[in-house]
Amino acid sequence: MKPDKVIAGIMLVVGLVVLFRTSTGGMGQSYSREVTVSPASAPDVQWSKYEDAFPREQGEPGVSFSWSRTLGLWISALLTLAIFSFLLGDNVVYKLAEAIFLGVSAGYVMVAGFYDGIVGKLLAGLAPTLMRDSLLPGLPPEQQTNWLNIVPLILGMMLLWRLSPKGGWISRWPIALFIGITAGFRMLAYFEADFVGQIQNTIVPLLVFAADGSFDWVQSVKNLLMVTGVLSTLTYFFFSVEHTGVIHRVSRVGIWVLMITFGVGFGMTVMGRIALLAARLEFLFDDWLWLIDPLNRRS
Amino acid sequence: MTLLKEGQIDRRWIYLAMLCAVGLPILLQLTFPEIPSPKVLDVFDAVDKLPEGSRILMACDFDPASAGELEPMMSAFVRHCGTKNHKLIFLALWPQGAPVIKSNIVILNKEFPEYEYGKDYVNLGYQPGNEVVLKVLVTDFKKQCSTDVDGTSTSTLPLTRDLTKIQQLSLVISVSTGNPGTTEWVQYVASPFGMPMVAGTTAVQAPSLYAYIPRQLISVLGGIKGAAEYEQAIIDHYPTMGENNGAREGLRRMGPQLLGHLLIVMLIVVGNVLYFSQKEKGVGA
Amino acid sequence: MKRTIPVLIASIAGLVLIIAHFVPPAQSWGDEVNTWFQILAAFAFFLGGGSLLKMHLKRISDQQEGWGFSAVTLLAFGITLIVGIFKLGVLPSETYPTKPWSGEYLGDGGALWWIYQYLFTPLNATMFALLAFFISSAAFRAFRAKNTEAMILLVTATIVLVGRTYAGAFLTEGFNPHWQLAAIIDEWFMSVFNTAGARAIKIGIALGVVSTSLKVLIGTDRSYLGSEE
């Protein structure tokens, strides 16, 4: 039997289930609740906002079928299937979904960068009054204009010069600032937390005695193995000395320790990937197809 | 019908097997009992043993890509803190972390209606600049976060009014998927200032964080298993939480994990058996 | 000027941060430089967006293979950017109801919220969920216990995989709690061997970062400046 036939069979069954359940109104619907907002600071101003509601809540005051959320749910489900279609080979549907993903993610981070970085940090410093009157009404009144923010503004413009076909060297100044700052703070952090810190963490008693004075052999063996493991792995990393004789044997132990570390990492990676798949399948089965209802959204 | 040709199998059969191994337990809603491990109990205790109403910083540094693993963890932390009436200050170093904060605030609003914005929780939203944000938070909180996500001054919110450095808080909870994330929180906040910190991370990230335990990091929840055990620990201590299906998301996911893991182990074993048997026969593999 | 000034900028910026760390009165300088960094990081997002625009416009204008997908990318990018920057459909903040632009850019019900919720989230999450399938295929095809090291890796991975589910608890149910599979993984594999390996790796990486940073700060590493122009 060819897998294509089985896959086609599964797709047919899923298609029929979707058709049947959609026609009976038994899947893929979203509801929202209309909530009236009456801000305390402006009693004459009032508006409505819409919050997610469960299908079981339909009929309650303010709860109604939401076209925009239902459309969104269907698009989400179809995009999920579009990405999964890559398993059958590269195809137009997958490429389309990939293209949308690329555009949306770039657009989203730019918006986040604009409001949280350019507005929240740069313009809040350069034009606090304007920001207070428009985008950031809660900006503290004591915040004065910080003229030093002109420096990152100019450097930012210089950074964007990189997009120009000529004068690419102009963007080196802001890049240098980036690199210099990163080098400065990373050097300290890594030295303190990952170099000195890890050495400190490794200095543990090799003979451990419990509070009642008895010898705790289990903890002693653990500490001994941990210290031996760190030292032997570091020996393996030490390439300035030829790995022969004792060094060879010790570094071989180090390789074994690393292999256990990587084995743990591999096992955990598999665990992570399966969890992500389970979450997507749960979305399809619960939110879209209504085959399961673990959160009692519908009953 | 033969699946194997020269020791190989059409990869689509493997994909189908994986789909069934993960999909069927979800459809059948298979769940299994969990026993919280000591590492998970250390995380639980760090939150639980704080005096009621302690101020905690919740760092949400992940995107939808890892939400399958981290969302259950994040909501478990929020529910646990809510049960203890802890005050929460949410912050994200990832642009995609901001929506995660919002969805968890929905949990707070629904399940802990007594929680009041500004007094019991504050949303600082996304802070651009990666770990540099942390460098400023430890010296001048207001310089970094002069306003919350709605543009309200943090100097006017009761929860953040007196906050000058984040070291004044009782605990940092970092839920993260990569960089910037838990490692940076340890390097720039927990390690240099001795600030108590626990973390919930993806399974991929967790093993490397063990190096920081216990001196620089109290403990870590690793992946969906960590989330499930943490949920169980909360249910064990606060049984009413067990009635909330939303608080069992991690526990629910351990069904598909079981069959998925066993399938991978089976594939490794079968792959090796075939490889060595063919090698003995002299067939190139 | 094209190379010397950037080197000086990098050195001074880095040194200011190091001095600020050790000299508390200089902390405010460090904070100021850090704020500049954050603003530049926001500009970097725009640089990224600009590069994306430039690259895909070129693909479209050259009618390169798959240029239609570039058009889709740009359309998605443009719509997201416009609705996000103009806060389309975003309601004002309840604290400042008279200020129409005071609402959060990702406010519920807004167009950007819809795009994030229904386009970005499923695409981002499913891209990574695909890896579960690829890892299963790799488990069958690639993970071979060809030597002692590979054997150690695979045995460890198998123990972790079994032990991190109910199967581990089921197989060692009657054992002493310390010798149950979950405890063995947690107390020995994770807390002893994995911790030892992770610590050694961290020490190695730290030494690498410190030496690379020093080279940047004293100006011997100038690779970030790119080629001569």
| pLDDT exceeds cutoff 70 at B5 | no
Average pLDDT, chain C: 89
Confidence of residue C17 (pLDDT cuts 50, 70, 90): confident
The burial of A39, by beta-carbon neighbours within 10 Å (0-12 exposed, 13-18 middle, 19 or more buried), is given as middle
Q: Is residue A222 part of a domain?
A: yes
| pLDDT exceeds cutoff 70 at C25 | yes
Which among C95, C46, B101, B133 is positioned nearest to A157, based on CA atoms? Answer: C46
Confidence of residue C33 (pLDDT cuts 50, 70, 90): confident
Question: Cβ separation of A259 and C190 shorter than 8 Å?
Answer: no
Query: What was the pLDDT predicted at C152?
Result: 93
3-state secondary structure C94-132: CCCCCCCCCCCCCCCCCHHHHHHHHHHHHHHHHHHHCHH
Report the distance separating Cα A174 and Cα A151, nearest Å: 10
Query: What was the pLDDT predicted at B3?
Result: 62
Query: Who among A113, A139, A192 is closest to B192 (CB)?
Result: A192
Confidence of residue B130 (pLDDT cuts 50, 70, 90): confident
Confidence of residue A1 (pLDDT cuts 50, 70, 90): low
Query: Who among B148, B202, B245 is closest to A295 (CB)?
Result: B245
Query: Of A65, A86, A107, which residue sits at a domain end?
Result: A65
Mind listing the pLDDT tens digit for each residue in B158-182? 999 999 999 999 999 999 998 899 9
- Cβ–Cβ under 8 Å, residues B271 and B14: no
| pLDDT exceeds cutoff 90 at A6 | no
| pLDDT exceeds cutoff 70 at A248 | yes
Query: What was the pLDDT predicted at C177?
Result: 76
Bridge partners, residue B175, by sequence: B60, B200
- Cβ–Cβ under 8 Å, residues C103 and C96: no
| pLDDT exceeds cutoff 80 at B2 | no
Query: Who among C197, C210, C224 is closest to A187 (CB)?
Result: C210
Alpha helical stretches, state H, chain B: 11-28, 38-48, 67-83, 97-111, 132-137, 141-144, 182-185, 191-193, 206-209, 223-237, 249-281
Most confident of A91-105, B127-141, C155-169: A91-105
Query: Who among A79, A148, A277 is closest to C122 (CB)?
Result: A79
C86: nearest CA in chain A?
Answer: A111
| pLDDT exceeds cutoff 60 at B284 | no
Q: What is the mean pLDDT of residues C59-76?
A: 93
Q: Is residue A244 part of a domain?
A: yes
Report the distance separating Cα A28 and Cα A81, nearest Å: 15
Q: Is residue A178 part of a domain?
A: no
Report the distance separating Cα B230 and Cα A92, nearest Å: 42
C31: nearest CA in chain A?
Answer: A181
Which residue did the predictor score with more confidence, A41 or C139? C139
Alpha helical stretches, state H, A88-170: 92-112, 124-126, 128-133, 150-160
- Which residues of chain A from 68 to 87 reach within 8 Å of chain B, CB to CB? 87
Alpha carbon distances (Å) from A60 to A30, A53, A124: 14, 10, 44
Q: Is residue A127 part of a domain?
A: no
Q: What is the mean pLDDT of residues B104-111?
A: 92
User: The domain at B38-243 falls in which architecture?
Assistant: 3-Layer(aba) Sandwich (3.40)
Query: Who among A108, A194, A274 is closest to B256 (CB)?
Result: A274
Query: What was the pLDDT predicted at A273?
Result: 94
Report the distance separating Cα B13 and Cα C27, nearest Å: 60
| pLDDT exceeds cutoff 80 at B4 | no
Interior/surface letters C132-171, b for 16+ CB within 10 angstroms, e for the rest: bbbbbbbbbbebbbeeebeebbbebbbbbbbbbbbbbbee
C103 CA: distance to closest CA in chain A (Å): 8
Report the distance separating Cα B16 and Cα C140, nearest Å: 14
- In chain A, residues with a C-beta closer than 8 Å to the C-beta of C130 are 83-84, 86-87
Q: What is the mean pLDDT of residues A76-98?
A: 93
Confidence of residue B283 (pLDDT cuts 50, 70, 90): low
Number of structural domains in chain A: 2
3-state secondary structure of B173: strand
The burial of A175, by beta-carbon neighbours within 10 Å (0-12 exposed, 13-18 middle, 19 or more buried), is given as buried
Interface test with C, best of A110, A126, A192 (most C CBs within 10 A): A110
- Which residues of chain A from 75 to 134 reach within 8 Å of chain C, CB to CB? 75-77, 79-80, 83-84, 86-87, 95-118, 121-122, 125, 133-134
Confidence of residue B285 (pLDDT cuts 50, 70, 90): very low
Q: Is residue A16 part of a domain?
A: no
- Cβ–Cβ under 8 Å, residues A117 and C91: no
Enter the tokens of residue B209: 């964080």
Place of tokens 């300035």: A240
Confidence of residue C24 (pLDDT cuts 50, 70, 90): confident
Q: Is residue A53 part of a domain?
A: yes
Report the distance separating Cα B261 and Cα B18, nearest Å: 10
Query: What was the pLDDT predicted at A23?
Result: 85
Helix H or strand E segment including A231: helix A217-237
| pLDDT exceeds cutoff 50 at A12 | yes
Residues near A62 by beta carbon (within 8 Å), at least 6 away in sequence? A33, A34, A35
Cβ of C128 under 8 Å from any chain B Cβ? yes
Question: Cβ separation of A264 and B207 shorter than 8 Å?
Answer: yes
Query: What was the pLDDT predicted at B1?
Result: 47
Query: Who among C34, C169, C187 is closest to B135 (CB)?
Result: C34
- In chain B, residues with a C-beta closer than 8 Å to the C-beta of C143 are 268, 271-272
- Cβ–Cβ under 8 Å, residues C41 and A114: no
| pLDDT exceeds cutoff 70 at C229 | no
> Domain range holding A59?
31-65
The secondary structure of B10-56 as a DSSP string is -HHHHHHHHHHHHHHHHHHT--------HHHHHHHHHHHTSPTT-EE
Q: What is the mean pLDDT of residues A202-209?
A: 91
Confidence of residue C182 (pLDDT cuts 50, 70, 90): confident
Residues near B125 by beta carbon (within 8 Å), at least 6 away in sequence? A116, B90, B91, B92, B98, B101, B148, B149, C104
Q: What is the mean pLDDT of residues B104-113?
A: 92
Mind listing the pLDDT tens digit for each residue in A104-131? 999 999 999 999 889 988 999 899 999 9
ipTM of the complex: 0.92
DSSP tag of C93:
P
Cβ of C117 under 8 Å from any chain B Cβ? yes
Q: What is the mean pLDDT of residues B134-142?
A: 90
3-state secondary structure of C216: helix
Mind listing the pLDDT tens digit for each residue in A253-290? 999 999 999 999 999 999 999 999 999 999 999 999 99
Question: Cβ separation of C3 and A172 shorter than 8 Å?
Answer: yes
3-state secondary structure A266-284: HHHHHHHHHHHHHHHHHHH
